[in-house]
Amino acid sequence: MRNSIEPTEASRQYAAAYAAHYTGRDLPLAFQLYKELMASHSGTPEAGYARMQVQNLINAVVPKQELLDAQITCLLAHFQQDDQHDSERILVMEEKN
Q: What's the one-letter identity of residue 72?
A: I
Residue 49: count other Cβ atoms within 10 Å of its Cβ.
18
pLDDT of residue 2: 58
Supply the DSSP symbol for 24.
S
- Predicted TM-score (pTM) of the model is 0.75
The terminus-to-terminus CA distance of the chain in angstroms comes to: 75
pLDDT tens figures, 60-81:
999 999 999 999 999 999 888 8
More confident residue, 91 or 60: 60
For residue 6, what pLDDT is reported?
80
